[in-house]
Amino acid sequence: MKTILILLSIASIIYWSIAKIGKLLRKHGSASGFVIKNTIWFLIIPILIITVLLFLYIVPSQKCGVVVTPSGVKQQSYPTGWYFVPFWFKTYEMDKTAQVYTCATRTSVSKSDADYKEYKDEATQSTTIWTPTIDGIKMGFDISVSWAIDPEMAWWIYDNVSEMDGGAKGRFYWLEENVIKAKLKSSLALTTSKYTPIQVYSDKRQQIQDEVYEKMKSDISFYHLVCKQVDIREVYYNADYERAINAKKLEEQEVMRLVEVTRQKEELRKQEIINKDIAITKAQGEAEALRIQGQSITHNPKIIELEWIKKWDGVLPTYMMGSGQGVMLNLNNK
């Protein structure tokens, strides 16, 4: 909008100049044509507009403004809006949106300003952070930090942070490499040194993340930066420790398998003993029954006849042999 107003003002001044020249030429009789009355306003209005625009400082959205006077950086930040600033003062914009710095296994970083956009477009700015636990065993972390500048202190950041020959982008690069990255490594190291590898890998991950966030928030506040969020994306064992864990797990599984086999064998042995005891008890019972039955027959032979009667179905035999030789009696009544 500011550019459009300036262009219209310049066009108006040109128009006024042409009209003025035409009037002078007609006055001397060297030209004739239509004369616009009060053309002076085509000069006054554009001059006023240009004067206002020269003093107008517009801070766009997602930015905060910084003003540099001849005596130095003005200790005031300008949020999004319109302001009147002398045109001989220099103005700069600082990005106040959230930035994300990620440490992960893949990295593609260039420190030159020409490659800064590519650097910012990459999802990863640094490699995985390796830090020791309470046992002295190093653990790897893929971790991201969301941060932003304090909009009210943008002037301080502009005045005190090196731009590394990269303007505002260079300042953000310097902050990420020398503040965010350094404080993140320090916070993570101090926090994980209180936990065992198993705790870091499993049930204490959320607690570690919260502690790192609180420490980061405190540490980077000195530079007037705001820590918005910390996310632990992945945790790794180092290669030697992981191999040792896998070997130990295999040993534990083998021990468990042997314990299970031993338990099953013990159960089978117990069952065999039970079956044997049952068979012995059953045999002893049967033997005792036979012994008692034999004693009963010995003392009372009539028991055999009684047993015969019990088992008799009430039907007489059809034939019966006599006591003499070759005699057979037919007992059938028919």
What confidence tens digit (pLDDT) does each residue in 299-321 have?
666 666 666 666 666 666 665 55
Residue 247 has pLDDT above 80, yes or no: no
**Mean pLDDT comparison of 33-47, 57-71, 243-257, highest-scoring range:** 57-71
pLDDT of residue 310: 66
| Whether residues 230 and 257 fall in one domain | no
Choose among 105, 84, 80: nearest CA to 93: 80
Whether residue 156 lies inside any domain: the answer is yes
| Whether residues 7 and 47 fall in one domain | yes
Greater model confidence, 164 or 219: 219
Residue 138 has pLDDT above 80, yes or no: yes
The proportion of the chain whose per-residue pLDDT surpasses 90, expressed as a percent, equals 24
Q: What does the pLDDT average to over 196-224?
A: 92
All residues at 6 or more sequence positions from 6 whose CB lies less than 8 Å from its CB, including other chains? 49, 50, 53
Q: What does the pLDDT average to over 59-71?
A: 91
| Whether residues 156 and 183 fall in one domain | yes
Q: Can you give the three-state secondary structure of the chain, one letter per residue?
A: CHHHHHHHHHHHHHHHHHHHHHHHHHHCCCCCCCCCCCCCHHHHHHHHHHHHHHHEEEECCCEEEEEEECCEEEEEEECCEEEECCCCCEEEEEECCCEEEEEECCCCCCCCHHHHHHHHHCCCCEECEEEECCCCCEEEEEEEEEEEECHHHHHHHHHHCCCCCCHHHHHHHHHHHHHHHHHHHHHHHHHHCCCCHHHHHCCCHHHHHHHHHHHHHHHHHHHCEEEEEEEEEEEEECHHHHHHHHHHHHHHHHHHHHHHHHHHHHHHHHHHHHHHHHHHHHHHHHHHHHHHHHHHHHHCCHHHHHHHHHHCCCCCCCEEECCCCCCEEECCCC
Whether residue 244 lies inside any domain: the answer is no
Whether residue 245 lies inside any domain: the answer is no
| Whether residues 163 and 275 fall in one domain | no
Q: What is the pTM of this model?
A: 0.59
Residue 81 has pLDDT above 70, yes or no: yes
Domain containing residue 174: CATH number: 3.30.479.30
Greater model confidence, 12 or 100: 100
| Whether residues 52 and 104 fall in one domain | no
Residue 324 has pLDDT above 70, yes or no: no
Residue 227 has pLDDT above 90, yes or no: yes
Greater model confidence, 43 or 334: 43
| Whether residues 155 and 267 fall in one domain | no
pLDDT of residue 44: 67
What confidence tens digit (pLDDT) does each residue in 144-155 have?
999 999 999 999
What confidence tens digit (pLDDT) does each residue in 167-192 have?
667 788 889 889 999 999 999 999 99
pLDDT of residue 68: 92
Range(s) of the domain holding residue 289: 253-296
Q: What does the pLDDT average to over 201-230?
A: 93
Cβ-in-10-Å burial (0-12, 13-18, 19+) of 24 comes to exposed
Whether residue 19 lies inside any domain: the answer is yes
pLDDT of residue 171: 84
- Domains contained in the chain, number: 3
> How confident is the prediction for the chain on average, in pLDDT?
77
| Whether residues 200 and 233 fall in one domain | yes
Confidence category of residue 285, pLDDT binned at 50, 70, 90: confident
Q: What does the pLDDT average to over 215-227?
A: 94
Query: Which residues face 92 on adjacent strands?
Result: 66
| Whether residues 232 and 140 fall in one domain | yes
In this structure, what are the phi and psi dihedrals at residue 92, rounded to the nearest 5 degrees?
-140, 155
pLDDT of residue 146: 94
All residues at 6 or more sequence positions from 123 whose CB lies less than 8 Å from its CB, including other chains? 102, 104, 106
Whether residue 148 lies inside any domain: the answer is yes
Greater model confidence, 295 or 25: 295
Whether the CB-CB separation of 184 and 145 falls below 8 Å is answered with yes
